Amino acid sequence: MRDSFETGLDWPFEEHYDETAFIHESAYVDSPCHIGKNTAVMHFTHVMPHSIIGDDCHIGHNVTISSGVMIGNNVRVMNNSLLNSGVIMEDSVFCGPSTVFSPINRLRSQPKGLSQIAPTLIRTGTNIGANSSIAAGITIGRYTFIEAGSVIDASIPDYALIMGNPFRLKGWRCECGETLSFKNDMAQCRTCAKSYGKKSRLKIIRIQEEIA
């Protein structure tokens, strides 16, 4: 399932609940859905049809996952969160309690507007703090850290540390979560020793270690 993000999201839409998955008796899981290995869907959660949840995920209580949501492996969606149609989460994303992903940006109540979807892509390793609001149609980069209560209405680069309403770029974090300090556009994590280079004011990249 992990490779599907790189190949056009060619996931199966037929009904499939892995035998190792746990679905609480109070949860509503509509057909057809795909729920992977060792995934737990907790109390009073509603998973709408044509949703896909990968392996080793935890979906907390009172979560709403709308039709067309795609969730990768090892994802945590915590209590009371709302994932509207078009949300795509890659692997190892943490979505804090009461996070709201909005529907399309110019939604009206007329029926002709309700079928439109603006995909929202959450890349690998992102951490979204509690009570955050995420606008539709944006991309949140890999290993981004969003502080609690932030309002995100534009795309965010990889490794960014974001907070506030309106949101502000407050710095950069390593894949392991440690804050990075740059000198001459270079930084090395003091915890895991990964190295990063600053390409511009709004972009950094990880520098792969040389292999002997």
CATH code (residue 130): 2.160.10.10
pLDDT, tens digit (0-9, with 9 covering 90-100), for 68-95: 999 999 999 999 999 999 999 999 999 9
- Residue 191's domain comprises 182-212
pLDDT at residue 201 greater than cutoff 50: yes
pLDDT given for residue 13 in this prediction: 59
Same domain for 36 and 66, yes or no, is: yes
Q: Is residue 66's pLDDT more than 60?
A: yes
82 and 101 in a single domain? The answer is yes
Pair 166, 200 in one domain: no
* Statement to judge: residues 160 and 188 lie in one domain: no
The yes-or-no verdict on residue 179 having pLDDT over 80 is yes
How do residues 11-35 score in pLDDT, each as one tens digit? 555 778 889 999 999 999 999 999 9
pLDDT range class, residue 209, cuts 50, 70, 90: low
Q: Are residues 124 and 190 in the same domain?
A: no
Residues 96 and 164 in one domain: yes
Our count of domains for the chain comes to 2
Give the SS3 label for residue 20: coil
Residues 139 and 208 in one domain: no
Q: Could you tell me how many residues make up the chain?
A: 212
C-alpha 203/C-alpha 185 separation (Å) is 11
Q: Are strands 186-188 and 195-200 parallel, antiparallel or unpaired?
A: antiparallel
CA distance 130 to 135: 15
pLDDT confidence of 6, banded at 50, 70, 90? very low
Alpha helices in the chain (DSSP H): 111-114
The helix or strand, by DSSP H or E, that contains position 82, with its residue range, turns out to be strand 82-83
Same-domain check for residues 100 and 194: no
Asked whether residue 164 falls in the same domain as residue 209, the answer is no
Say if pTM beats, i.e. exceeds, 0.85: yes
The reply to whether 121 and 207 lie within a common domain is no
Does one domain contain both 68 and 128?
Answer: yes
